[in-house]
Amino acid sequence: GAPLKSLAARADLLFGTAVNMDALAEDKTYRKITAREFNSLTAENVMKWETLQPERGVYDFSQGDALMRFAKQNGQQVRGHTLLWHNQLPAWLTEGVADGSITKDELRQILREHITTVAKHYKGKIYQWDVVNEVFEEDGSYRQSLWYQQLGPSYIADAFRWAKQADPHAKLYVNDYNVEGVNAKSTAYHNLVKDLRAQGIRVDGFGIQGHLSTQYGFPGDIPQNLQRFADLGVESSFTEVDVRGVMPMDEAKLNLQADYFRGMLDACLDQRKCTSFTIWGFADQYSWVPDVFAGEGSANIYDESYAPKPSYWAVRQELAEG
C-alpha cells in the first residue's frame, strides 16, 4: 500500500520519526523505511549540545548535516531538537559550572552563542525548533536545572528571543513529556506560553512528547488540552511518541499499545492546529526504552525484525481516515 507519509500528506499532517544516525549508516532496512514512510525527521541525538559543541566554542555539525542531506534527498522536512535541555550537555559546560570557572554572566553568553550559532547554521531548513525542552517538574514548578539554578526563569524568554533572531521562519516550540492531558505540568506550559506572549515574546508551538506506557491509563483529555493551546493561538505537535510495555508483551498489551497510538494520532488529526506527529523511532531494536526502564520495551510500531505490529496498523488506519 501507500507509504504512511502519503496518507499523512493527504491528511495535511507531517508524520515523522526520530532518527538514530548510527542505524541510518549501518542498517539498510532502517534506512529504507526512514526514507519511505516519513515526511519529517528529527535527530534523536545529534542536534543536542554534547554533539554540536563538544568543546567550548568548537562546533561539530557533521552528523546533523548528514541528517539534513538525507532529508533533502528524500524530500523530507526536519524538526530541530533541541536548542536547550538539561541532559546531554558537554562535560566542559557542566564541570565549568560546577567548579565555578564558568560564571553566570558567561553561562548566559554561552547559551546565547550556542542558540544563535546552531539556529543560524540551520536557518531556513528547520520547520519547528524545540527551543526549550523539559523545563518543568511534574507539579508545574520550574525544573531545578543548571539553567534555572544559574540564570533564573528569564533564560526561557531569552532562549526564544535569540532563536527568533537567528531563524525567524522556524516555528518555535516548548516541548515536554507527561503533558498529553490536562494536568499541573501542562497547565504550567499553558501559563508560560500565555505569559511569554503577553510580554511580546514569540512562542509558536506546544510540543507534546507522547512517551506513554500501557501500564498507566490513557489520558482521556488530550483533545481538551490541545484545544486550550489552540485557544491561546499556538499550534501543537506530538514530537516523540512511543508506547512502552512491561516485557514480555502479549496480544492484549500489543492491542492496548495500538489503541494508545491511535488515540494520540486521532486527537492530533481532529485538532486543526496540531501540525505534526513524530514517533520516537520506529524499530524496537533501537529504542531508548529498555536502557531507561528496566523490564520494559516494545515501544515502537515495528518489532525487532521489522514486522509491523498492531500499532503500525492502527497508525496506518488512522492516517488513512484522516
Binding ligand G3I (rule: CB under 6 A), the pick from 29, 62, 88, 165 is 88
Q: Are 237 and 274 in contact (CB under 8 A)?
A: yes
304 is catalytic: no
Q: Residue 308 — φ and ψ, nearest 5°? A: -65, 135
Q: Report the residue number, 227 or 277, with the smaller CB distance to ligand G3I.
A: 277
d(CA 269, CA 280): 18
Residue 288 in contact with ligand G3I, rule: CB under 6 A:
yes
The bridge status of strand 235-246 relative to strand 296-297 is antiparallel
Residues 193-212 that bind ligand G3I (CB under 6 A): 209
Q: Which is nearer to ligand G3I, 249 or 299 (CB)?
A: 299
Size of the site for ligand G3I (CB under 6 A): 9
* Residue 206 or 316 with smaller CB distance to ligand G3I: 206
Closest to 172 (Cα-Cα) out of 131, 111, 217, 142: 131
Q: At what angle do helices 222-232 and 251-270 cross, to 10 degrees?
A: 20
Residue showing cell 523505511: 33
Q: Give the residue, chosen from 37, 44, 167, 284, that forms a contact with ligand G3I under the rule CB under 6 A.
A: 44
Which of 289, 247, 258 has its CA nearest to residue 44?
289
Secondary structure (H, E, C), 179-198: CCCCCHHHHHHHHHHHHHHH
Give the residue with the Cβ less far from ligand G3I, 27 or 106: 27
240 contacts ligand G3I (rule: CB under 6 A): yes
Name beta bridge partners: 176: 208
Q: Which three cell numbers stand for residue 198?
A: 503577553
Q: Does position 62 bind ligand G3I by CB under 6 A?
A: no
Q: Does 53 bind ligand G3I (CB under 6 A)?
A: no
Q: Spot the catalytic one: 134, 180, 235, 318.
A: 134
Distance CA 89, CA 223 (A): 34
Q: Please select the residue that binds ligand G3I; options are 29, 62, 87, 154, rule is CB under 6 A.
A: 87
| Interface characters, 153-192, with ligand G3I (x: CB under 6 A) | ------------------------x---------------
Letter string b/e over residues 54-91, b meaning 16 or more CB atoms within 10 A of that residue's CB: eeeeebebebbebbbebbeeeebbbbbbbbbbbeebbe
Q: Smallest gap, in angstroms, from Cβ of residue 51 to ligand G3I? A: 8
Q: Shortest Cβ distance from residue 18 to ligand G3I (Å)?
A: 7
Nearer to ligand G3I, 227 or 276 (CB): 276
Q: Minimum Å distance from CB 280 to ligand G3I?
A: 6
Distance (Å, whole) CA 275 – CA 295: 34
Q: How far is the CB of 320 from ligand G3I (least distance, A)?
A: 28
3-class DSSP state for residue 81? strand
- Is 240 designated active site? yes
317 touching ligand G3I, by CB under 6 A = no
**Of 111 and 289, CB closest to ligand G3I:** 289
Active-site position among 37, 180, 235, 240? 240
d(CA 291, CA 128): 28
Catalytic residue annotation = 134, 240
Binding site for ligand G3I (CB under 6 A): 44-45, 87-88, 133, 177, 209, 240, 288
